[in-house]
Amino acid sequence: MSATLSYAQLSSSISLSNGVGIDVSANLGQPTGQQTLTVEMARASGNSFYRIFWDQNHLAVYGYELQVELTTGGNALTAVAKPAGDQFAARYPNADAGKPVPTLSADQILGPLGSGQSATLDLFEIPGMGLHLTETVRVQFGAETGGGALKFSSLRVAIDQKQVAGPAPGSVAGRYAMFYLPGRGGFFFATEPAPGFAKTGAIDGNRMRFTVDNVEYDCVSTAPIHGTGGDLWVLHDASYKPEGNWTHARDQLEREDFFMAAADSLGWWQ
């Protein structure tokens, strides 16, 4: 049995309406041993995410924290890979059967990275199994990353036929999509059942309609939202607040405003 990592697990991507796109992809090296790895990307706090590598027994063989920040002016991004610390241990107390999870020995700084640029992290190796794990962080401005089931382009949101937000500049695309409405929180969308989501809407071409807390929302995109249309699953988090300047417009980094985003995993927001 060879060490494997499926394509869906190998790469994580997110696209934001401020034009920032981030891809994080893992490379296993040349595995030959009896190890099956999966990778999880979970929100840490603010601008940070955890990358956790689990074996076939769901024990963590490695973990670290990835922090991303837009530079002043918003035209480049700096990523810092950090050791998994006390907060990680408190959140995942039995990740490695009570033992400390292997992690980086010191911070590794990547960047600043401009559009189209990438940098690679050298994480760990298990020579006897042929594993030499590295991860590549790639930044793209002005273009959506990934692809996937949902696409929002210059989205406009109306309540009771009155526009309340938008159009948000640019496009985002991914398996999951979301938007943030100041004063109303975060709205998260999927085209299939997902934990915590309810089937409360539908997609028809470049329009989607859904109901949350007896309020009807009507959203219009400048391009088709989903190739075939159909049912829409929605999760509303009224307490959601944007964290990290990478969610803001690059020319208005401190402004809280309507924005949209998409990703291949709910871990970007949870």
Asked whether residue 115 falls in the same domain as residue 230, the answer is no
Asked whether residue 134 falls in the same domain as residue 53, the answer is yes
Asked whether residue 12 falls in the same domain as residue 132, the answer is yes
Q: Please determine, for residue 5, whether its predicted confidence score (pLDDT) is greater than 50.
A: no
Structural domain boundaries enclosing 174: 150-268
- Residues 128-181: pLDDT tens digits? 777 788 999 999 887 666 666 899 999 999 998 899 998 877 788 888 999 999
- Domain assignment present for residue 163? The answer is yes
Tokens of 268: 């970007």
User: Residue 86 contacts by C-beta under 8 Å, 6 or more apart in sequence?
Assistant: none
Asked whether residue 114 falls in the same domain as residue 196, the answer is no
Last residue of a domain, one of 108, 141, 174: 141
pLDDT attached to residue 256: 62
- Residues 9-25: pLDDT tens digits? 477 888 887 778 888 98
- Domain assignment present for residue 158? The answer is yes
Please, which residues bridge with residue 3 across strands?
A: none
Query: In which band, very low, low, confident or very high, does the pLDDT at 8 lie, cut at 50, 70 and 90?
Result: very low
Asked whether residue 14 falls in the same domain as residue 122, the answer is yes
- Residues 179-212: pLDDT tens digits? 999 999 999 999 999 989 999 999 999 999 999 9
Asked whether residue 89 falls in the same domain as residue 128, the answer is yes
Query: In which band, very low, low, confident or very high, does the pLDDT at 82 lie, cut at 50, 70 and 90?
Result: very high
pTM: 0.80
Q: Please determine, for residue 83, whether its predicted confidence score (pLDDT) is greater than 80.
A: yes
- Domain assignment present for residue 2? The answer is no
- Domain assignment present for residue 1? The answer is no
Asked whether residue 67 falls in the same domain as residue 169, the answer is no
Asked whether residue 172 falls in the same domain as residue 208, the answer is yes
If you search the block for the tokens 């995993």, which residue do you land on? 265
Last residue of a domain, one of 141, 174, 205: 141
Asked whether residue 49 falls in the same domain as residue 11, the answer is yes
**Across residues 80-91, what is the average pLDDT?**
92
- The total domain count for the chain is 2
- Domain assignment present for residue 123? The answer is yes
According to the 3-state scheme, what is the secondary structure of 32-88?
A: CCCCCCEEEEEECCCCEEEEEEECCCCCEEEEEEEEEEECCCCCCEEEEEEECCHHH
Last residue of a domain, one of 89, 108, 141: 141
